[in-house]
Structure 1
Amino acid sequence: MPSSLHTLSGFSAYTTQAVRLVDLTIVLLCGWLAYWLRLGTFSMDERYLWLLTLGALLTLLVLPSLGIYQSWRGRMRGQLMLRLLSGFFLIGALITLILFLAKSGMAYSRLWLVAWMLSAAGGCILIRAVAYPILNRLRASGRNRRTLLLIGDAHSCATAWRQLQRVPTAGFEVERILLIDDDHQEELAGIHHERYTLGDRLEHTEEEVWICLPLAEGDWVKEIQNALSQSTGNVRYMPDLRDFRLINHSVSQVADLYLLDLSCSPMTGSNRLLKWLEDKLVAALILLLISPVLAVLAVGVKLSSPGPVFYRQERVGLNGVPFMMLKFRSMPVNAEKGGVQWGGARNKEVTAFGAFLRKTSLDELPQFLNVFKGDMSIVGPRPERTQFVQTFKNEIPGYMQKHMVKAGITGWAQINGWRGDTDLTKRIECDLWYIKNWSLWLDVKIILLTVLKGFVHRHAY
């Protein structure tokens, strides 16, 4: 993945976390101000401090679940404001319900609670009313924009290009236009475009690809999608759906253009926060609990053979970006001097202590450091070496789609027995099923099954 794409992805993640922090600060500040205005003192009673903390925790749970923190680039902001109002109404209702069940509602000022929720909602709306025009001006001036590849017929591509030019605040920059035929090219007069031959492999560096074709050209859409099978960016289909009445269909709306999401990561908006919190909290807890075990195993590796404690190996992770995965070293230092090969784990040279580490999967424990650092997740598709990815992506359909989420220590494939020297196609099927059906509960289920089934496995070498 180009470094610019990786930088933008990281920038967007930090921006989203900053917005959450701002909202949380507003909630706490408004609760304190409402207390001062209602009760006339700056020193908040302990009972109210507990309720303020509860409100902050509910804010972290409720607002992301309503899609508040998903990307609103080029989309209708009025809907966002309604979601914020609904979110704080729900938070207030939950606090009221909790106080009712605890039979402690009479101990708190109802006027304070109402003033708190209204002022917090107003504050979050106001900060966005100030920030969004600034962001719009930045995008219109060419900053914070995503690169885009349009591919399809001239009429549809021209429609998308013109609309994005009319709405620069959407934040998309069309870098290339590829046409599948020579019809109606006059609609793109003065706009640089190239010819694309159906059936050719399509490689791109743009952050998004929009397939711009009428619904009647479904076969062509399928062929282009197949040509993009190795893409790790978002792929969207842009038919003209403004005259259609869709019921219970999920579409994205950007600059008044309707896009069908064909191949997009589930880790966006509130899902990204949930996954981030899951990884950081679980990794920190596990590292704290297993730190004595890590120390003992490190001593065992050091005494078993000369060389470093950790074995660093380049693997491919999110969006196809390589990272260095950590393991406890289980092989002699020069065991791979003749090169590496796929499979054959039984025949690889390992130390006596290393064989024990592999059989019990204890050599994988340092990867919790990778999780805490942000390279990996607790749950996700297992990462593979860079050289093997270059081979597998041309042999296994959908192989690159596993990199739409972070690689994991354990995953759906592993708890179903597809690990080690097992059928790679079956493992990819499990990985793609996990991405398609991801939820926080599914991650919890996989973690629990990993613990219950144990680390020792007949395919672990």
Structure 2
Amino acid sequence: MMSTVNHTRQANASVISLLQRISDLSIIYFSILALCYINNESFSIHSNIIALLAIVIFQLIGGVSDFYRSWRGMSLFKELLGFVKNWSLSAIITVIIMLFTGGLEYFNIDDSSFLLWYFLVLIFGCLARYLIRLTINSLRSMGYNTRNVVIVGRTLPGVHLAKSLISAPWLGLLLKGFYSSSESTITSQDNVVYDADVTFLGSIDQMIMDAKSGDIDKIYIALPMKNEKEIKKIMHELADTTCSVMLVPDLFSLEILKHRSEEVNGIPVLSLCDTPLTGLNSIIKRLEDIVLSVIILIFISPVLFSIGCAVKFTSSGPILFKQKRYGMDGKSIQVWKFRSMTVMEDGAKVTQATKNDSRFTVIGGFLRKTSLDELPQFFNTLIGDMSIVGPRPHAIAHNEEYRKIIQGYMLRHKVKPGITGWAQINGWRGETDTNEKMEKRIQYDLEYIRNWSLWLDLKIIFLTVFKGFINKSAY
């Protein structure tokens, strides 16, 4: 009987995924049909080709990003953000293909029409996802498509999981209680959380008996990793049941950067220190850099020319100062800046600029204070060595110095260095004459990597305009 129940629930998940897929594809197709109606045009074979091209691209990207996985346990915001990312990238690729093939002109689709189609799909796609989730949540609240789950272990990860399940009943994961292991303990504060909100169901042996009787659908093992023998014993006993068993790793005791799970040739692994810019995210980040860099370079080209002439005519030496710095994954790159000093330090020892530094050229102090010396780095961004937003690149000499002093310093190189960053708009830029200042900068850099999103990048770029270029610490 339990096997039948589990198969039914797996079928439910498949039905939900199929429903989401049909919904997405129908909206893409019928939105272009609506566009033709709005423009008083017939729905021709040409319109069909564009719609089908976008659908194929959307499906390919959905496969790469694992978009049609189960969203149970994920927030609505993350699901909608995934749709926005996938559709935006699909629309961009569709436009690029049509431009190269002359399709937009041949199919009589102008920019405003394509933009309208993009927003129609975006709005109705997000609305459909919301309605599907609302319907599923309503069904789960009536007892349909729910799962009885328990937690094994009185540990900090178990407490966090319990809090999460209690605060999100719409997930359909009904927390029945927890089972205690004699070797797993939590603090007195966490104990209150369990005792007040979660029923104590008994020992590990009792859990195994309940699992075999068919009362439990999913078991979360939140025991310390040192309890390896006990975990193996539980797994051995649960092999005689149809329960889904999940291991909750104790990530709270680790200093992690960005964690995610994946498989290596069928072997599950958990990433603890990794870049958030993989797969679809890396494509979005690169497109962001290319598009914004081109726009900004066109806009500031007169400024670049004027500053270049001023640097050349007010001091001897090259216009640009090229310094070796660490890029992504610690690989050496050359960062371009307008020369603001009479020296060109790029060796084993680099002295940081100080206020009223005697090494400044005639206009060097002004360039540094206004951050105008950084403008050539948009070319670094365009060629792919840097990003518009990211941790600021430090001289190699400073990297080698601080990596020995500050724990986690080199983790900032898990993304490309940026022209501006989260640390800079929060006031942590300029001279780092104390280790505390550098530690604070690194703290913000790692916070940026952990929480990266396109919207965070756009927020940083926006704030840079008002508080990033000119700063009392900039010299």
Are residues 337 and 361 of structure 1, via their aligned partners in 2, closer, same or farther at CA, if it must alter by over 3 Å? same
What residue is the counterpart of 1:272 in the other structure? 282
Letter in structure 1 aligned against 2:302? P
Displacement of 1:272 in angstroms is 0.5
Displacement of 1:245 in angstroms is 2.2
1:147-179 Cα shifts (integer Å, max 9, x gaps): xxxxxxxxxxxxxxxxxxxxxxxxxxxxxxxxx
Counterpart among 450, 453, 458 of residue 439 in structure 1 = 453
Structure 1 unpaired stretches of 5+: 1-30, 32-43, 71-82, 103-213, 220-239
In our comparison, the structure showing a higher alpha carbon Rg is 2
Are residues 100 and 442 of structure 1, via their aligned partners in 2, closer, same or farther at CA, if it must alter by over 3 Å? closer
Counterpart among 55, 59, 64 of residue 68 in structure 1 = 64
1:97-136 Cα shifts (integer Å, max 9, x gaps): 939999xxxxxxxxxxxxxxxxxxxxxxxxxxxxxxxxxx
Are residues 415 and 296 of structure 1, via their aligned partners in 2, closer, same or farther at CA, if it must alter by over 3 Å? same
Per the alignment, in what secondary structure is the counterpart of residue 276 of structure 2? Answer: coil
**Alignment partner of 1:303 is 2:313:** yes
1:55–1:95 contact (8 Å) kept in structure 2: no
**Alignment partner of 1:258 is 2:253:** no
Alignment of structure 1 residues 72-111 onto 2, 5 Å: 98=120
Are residues 254 and 309 of structure 1, via their aligned partners in 2, closer, same or farther at CA, if it must alter by over 3 Å? same
What is the alpha-carbon distance in structure 1 between the residues aligned to residue 122 and residue 402 of structure 2?
58
Structure 2 unpaired stretches of 5+: 1-28, 30-40, 67-81, 92-115, 125-222, 229-234, 250-259
What is the alpha-carbon distance in structure 2 between the residues aligned to residue 100 and residue 364 of structure 1?
37
What residue is the counterpart of 2:245 in the other structure? 245
Normalising by structure 2, report the TM-score.
Answer: 0.50
What is the alpha-carbon distance in structure 2 between the residues aligned to residue 318 and residue 100 of structure 1?
33
What is the alpha-carbon distance in structure 2 between the residues aligned to residue 344 and residue 313 of structure 1?
18
Counterpart among 405, 413, 430 of residue 415 in structure 2 = 405
Displacement of 1:296 in angstroms is 0.5
**Alignment partner of 1:459 is 2:473:** yes
What is the alpha-carbon distance in structure 1 between the residues aligned to residue 295 and residue 52 of structure 2?
25
What residue is the counterpart of 2:182 in the other structure? none
Normalising by structure 1, report the TM-score.
Answer: 0.51
What residue is the counterpart of 1:383 in the other structure? 393
What is the alpha-carbon distance in structure 1 between the residues aligned to residue 304 and residue 43 of structure 2?
41
Are residues 279 and 306 of structure 1, via their aligned partners in 2, closer, same or farther at CA, if it must alter by over 3 Å? same
1:359–1:457 contact (8 Å) kept in structure 2: yes
What residue is the counterpart of 2:362 in the other structure? 352
Identity, % of aligned positions: 41
What residue is the counterpart of 1:288 in the other structure? 298
Per the alignment, in what secondary structure is the counterpart of residue 425 of structure 1? Answer: helix
1:361–1:455 contact (8 Å) kept in structure 2: yes
What is the alpha-carbon distance in structure 2 between the residues aligned to residue 371 and residue 96 of structure 1?
28
Displacement of 1:341 in angstroms is 2.2
Letter in structure 1 aligned against 2:340? S
Displacement of 1:327 in angstroms is 0.3
**Alignment partner of 1:332 is 2:342:** yes
Displacement of 1:451 in angstroms is 1.1
Per the alignment, in what secondary structure is the counterpart of residue 216 of structure 1? Answer: coil
RMSD of aligned residue pairs (Cα, Å) = 4.3
Are residues 440 and 337 of structure 1, via their aligned partners in 2, closer, same or farther at CA, if it must alter by over 3 Å? closer
What is the alpha-carbon distance in structure 2 between the residues aligned to residue 292 and residue 47 of structure 1?
47
Per the alignment, in what secondary structure is the counterpart of residue 384 of structure 1? Answer: coil
What is the alpha-carbon distance in structure 2 between the residues aligned to residue 364 and residue 281 of structure 1?
19
1:306–1:333 contact (8 Å) kept in structure 2: no
Per the alignment, in what secondary structure is the counterpart of residue 347 of structure 1? Answer: coil
1:59-100 Cα shifts (integer Å, max 9, x gaps): 767754x46168xxxxxxxxxxxx9xxx89xx89x9699399
1:30-54 Cα shifts (integer Å, max 9, x gaps): x9xxxxxxxxxxxx99977577567
1:330–1:354 contact (8 Å) kept in structure 2: yes
**Alignment partner of 1:393 is 2:380:** no
1:283–1:372 contact (8 Å) kept in structure 2: yes
Alignment of structure 1 residues 148-187 onto 2, 5 Å: none
Displacement of 1:456 in angstroms is 1.2
Are residues 370 and 56 of structure 1, via their aligned partners in 2, closer, same or farther at CA, if it must alter by over 3 Å? farther
What residue is the counterpart of 1:417 in the other structure? 427
1:67–1:269 contact (8 Å) kept in structure 2: no
What is the alpha-carbon distance in structure 1 between the residues aligned to residue 302 and residue 386 of structure 2?
22
Displacement of 1:256 in angstroms is 2.6
Displacement of 1:316 in angstroms is 0.6
Per the alignment, in what secondary structure is the counterpart of residue 363 of structure 2? Answer: helix
What residue is the counterpart of 1:116 in the other structure? none
What residue is the counterpart of 1:450 in the other structure? 464
Letter in structure 2 aligned against 1:98? L
What is the alpha-carbon distance in structure 2 between the residues aligned to residue 62 and residue 248 of structure 1?
32
Per the alignment, in what secondary structure is the counterpart of residue 325 of structure 2? Answer: strand
Per the alignment, in what secondary structure is the counterpart of residue 286 of structure 2? Answer: helix
What is the alpha-carbon distance in structure 2 between the residues aligned to residue 60 and residue 281 of structure 1?
21
Displacement of 1:260 in angstroms is 1.5
Are residues 49 and 312 of structure 1, via their aligned partners in 2, closer, same or farther at CA, if it must alter by over 3 Å? farther
